Amino acid sequence: MILATIILMSLVWDFLSRLRQETIVLEHQFRLYALRDALREQVMQGSVKSDNWVFQYLDSSIAKLISQLSTVSFWRVLSMMLFYPRNPRTKVGLEHLAREMKKPHNAPLLKIYIHYMAELGFFLTKRHSVLRYALLSFGQLIRAQSWTREKYRQAKALLTAAPETSTLAEFCS
């Protein structure tokens, strides 16, 4: 009887965990839809031109991330961090994007991009909340908080440039 109860509780726990993950993905998809709408509103207001490649990159990348969000996880980002930083095309694309974002006429797009990166960070920390606390505790234990924060920033930037979740490679050749 106890064994049956343990198995049943495990099944319920697993179901609730999966439901929570699906809810987190759905919540952040809606937040990304709202961000994409805010980006498009900038075009309608005339503060951004629709033929600006940075606008097109953000619009298409947000749409791509929305469709791929259920596959984004800490483990996938970790594997990206191992391989993509060595990819010169990704590095050049991010540098080119950073230069474009510094231009005054792209200021509204910079705000959207910062919000885009923040949303990626919120998603990762909410999806892997237990892992986040473990990494923070480990970072404090070995006194590597700044290193951990820097790697986290790099992970978010990489997600905005990786071919799986972004269209940056199409705009920066």
Element (H, E) at 126: helix 107-127
Give residue 27's pLDDT.
93
Residue 112 corresponds to which tokens in the numbers above?
């959207």
Give residue 155's pLDDT.
79
pLDDT: which is higher, 54 or 164? 54
How do residues 55-82 score in pLDDT, each as one tens digit?
Answer: 999 999 999 999 999 888 877 887 777 7
Average pLDDT over residues 147-172: 78
What is the pLDDT confidence band of residue 29, given thresholds at 50, 70 and 90?
very high
Give residue 137's pLDDT.
66
Give residue 103's pLDDT.
93
Residue 28 corresponds to which tokens in the numbers above?
């952040």
Whether 26 shows a pLDDT value over 80: the answer reads yes
Half-sphere exposure of 108 (CA within 13 A, CB side): 18
Look at the block and give the residue holding tokens 């799986």.
164
Q: How far from each other are the two terminal CA atoms of the chain, in whole angstroms?
A: 64
Q: b or e along 72-102 (b: 16 or more beta carbons within 10 Å of the residue's beta carbon)?
A: beeeebeebeeebeebeebeebbebbeebee
Q: How much is the pTM?
A: 0.76
Give residue 124's pLDDT.
85
CA distances (Å), origin 76, targets 20, 124, 165, 166: 19, 11, 11, 14
How do residues 85-124 score in pLDDT, each as one tens digit?
Answer: 677 787 888 888 899 999 999 999 999 999 999 998 889 8
Amino acid at the residue 165: T
pLDDT: which is higher, 108 or 17? 108
